[in-house]
Structure 1
Amino acid sequence: MTYLTNDLLAQVEAIARDAGAAIMAIYGREFSIDEKADKSPLTEADAAAHQLIAERLSALPLQLPILSEEDTDGFAGADPQGRYWLVDPLDGTKEFIKRNGEFTVNIALIEQGKSVLGVVYAPALAVAYVAAAGIGAFKIDSEGRRQAIRVAEHVPGDTWRIVGSRSHAGDSLQQLLDKLGAHELVAMGSSLKLCLVAEGAADAYPRLGPTSLWDTAAAHCVVEQAGGTVVRLDGLPLNYADTRQVLNPFFLVLGKNELDWPALLA
């Protein structure tokens, strides 16, 4: 994967930041809210970010198909090497509408079902997480400081730090927490949940509810390059090869620990 370079990662980060600026221009005023066929909300910020990202990715020297949440019909499939861009122009639309700042721009590069480059940018927080295979995972804070990140190693007996969805908590998660024992739960929106595990601020993020491919792919790369894992409940890695099925199975985002999670979930 010699095409995965720091320069490409920087270009994608710049695209995500510019999409974030377009989102924030709308965030600061009144905006329209529509409803998709699946009853999920859609704002003009989703559309504006999608248009900018699609145009800018198409202008890169690396010409790849684009699968965006806001244009699934325009995706004809991966290239002959199994590569494509997987994009959520505005992840956390409900958080955007609530104006709590916990929404992101997600851009991932997929090769043979694996997320090999990912950029997650939270424009209201001015924080970015970037990663690529062979390069590593990094957080760029609101002051522009860039640092390598690693997942935490949970010490047996310590309180578990668990991330949960702010908008999609459910009974299944509570049942898991009851079995887990001493824990603290951090509620968070969008793909920032995965990034908290990647930077070592949380030990695990069990997702026992619906998500789509574009919700997880960019942050998945960040987690893996930071030394963590994103696996289905059967232990197999989450995969992005089959774009005919855009819904992910339930999954676990894990730092370093020795807990038998499948047994806990049985």
Structure 2
Amino acid sequence: MSALPESLSRDLESGRLTEQLAEIAEEASALILPYWRAGAAVTTKADDSPVTEADQKAEALILERLTALYPGVQTVAEEACAADGTPDAENAFFLIDPLDGTKAFVGEREAFTVNIALAHGERVLAGVISAPAMAQTWRTGGSGDKAGAFSRRFGETAWRQVRVRQKPDRGFALISHSLGEDEAERIASRFGCAEWQALDSSVKFCLIAEGRYDVYPRTGPTCEWDTGAGQAILEAAGGRVITLEQGQPLSYAKPNYLNPGFVALGG
């Protein structure tokens, strides 16, 4: 596997990469918000998942900004893949989900996000998640004394570091809305959690990274653009994302960018 491009490597180490990605994600968030709770038209994609004009416009903006900043670095974006098919992964590539949790967005719930991650081979190296309706962004840092995971409210310039907590005796799980109540309770119990809450989108990774929750098990299908940014942030905060079957770190550049079942864990 070849090295990252020099400018990308330098910005990754200094933390400038995710500072720039955060600006892009927050710009996309500002574009998305006027569509929320405004009766946005919904189209159904080939996989029966919903897409709106907000998804498409946010993705176009993100792709334009990334191409200007890092020309030549591959972009793997959800809506482009839905329209044109999934490309083979190159050495380094950005994973983009312009509106993760579209069902929440259409249902006028708050937990929808903008996800941008950088992967290199099978590893995800950096990530940013913005939650437009929550007015909050999370990102990974750089190397050395700039390492870690960080959060800020929209409009703020300072970042605060976040960290996972040690799981209490009565752990608290976050569960996908796609699960029924009995199944959610069974899965939460499997991972040592006496309580659980259903929540949409990649914000689940961020809330575990902040030390507010403990576990996010996922048995249903997801793609790498759904998990890349969240995994990077959670790992930078001291957590893990591992496969359900083998207990290995969730990897990237898989065929069609499809994930197996996984569990995100705090401390």
TM-score using structure 1 length: 0.87
1:52 CA drift (Å): 0.4
1:212 CA drift (Å): 1.1
C-alpha separation between the residues in 2 aligned to 1:152 and 1:8? 27
Of 247, 250, 257, the match for 1:235: 247
1:204 is aligned to 215
C-alpha separation between the residues in 1 aligned to 2:70 and 2:108? 36
Of 129, 145, 154, the match for 2:167: 154
- Residue type of the alignment partner of 1:11: Q
Kept in 2: contact 1:65–1:76 (CA 8 A): no
2:5 is aligned to none
1:139 is aligned to 151
Q: Closer, same or farther in 2 for the Cα pair 1:21/1:41, shift >3 Å?
A: same
1:27 CA drift (Å): 1.9
Q: Closer, same or farther in 2 for the Cα pair 1:236/1:98, shift >3 Å?
A: same
C-alpha separation between the residues in 2 aligned to 1:209 and 1:190? 13
Matched, 1:189 2:189: no
**Aligned-partner SS, 2:160:** strand
Q: Closer, same or farther in 2 for the Cα pair 1:98/1:193, shift >3 Å?
A: same
C-alpha separation between the residues in 2 aligned to 1:94 and 1:103? 8
- Residue type of the alignment partner of 1:106: N
C-alpha separation between the residues in 2 aligned to 1:92 and 1:253? 18
1:260 is aligned to none
Kept in 2: contact 1:162–1:184 (CA 8 A): yes
Of 104, 108, 118, the match for 2:127: 118
Percent of aligned pairs with the same amino acid: 40
2:30 is aligned to 21
Q: Which runs of 5+ in 1 are unaligned?
A: 257-266
Kept in 1: contact 2:37–2:106 (CA 8 A): no
Aligned length: 251
C-alpha separation between the residues in 1 aligned to 2:162 and 2:262? 22
| CA displacement 1:98-120 (0-9 Å, x = unmatched) | 11111000000001121111000
- Residue type of the alignment partner of 2:227: T
Which structure features the higher share of helix residues?
Answer: 2
Q: Closer, same or farther in 2 for the Cα pair 1:54/1:161, shift >3 Å?
A: same
RMSD: 2.0
Matched, 1:2 2:2: no
Matched, 1:177 2:188: yes
C-alpha separation between the residues in 2 aligned to 1:232 and 1:190? 18
Q: Closer, same or farther in 2 for the Cα pair 1:75/1:60, shift >3 Å?
A: farther
TM-score using structure 2 length: 0.87
| CA displacement 1:63-111 (0-9 Å, x = unmatched) | 31100000123764444xx200000000000000011111000000001
Q: Which runs of 5+ in 2 are unaligned?
A: 1-8
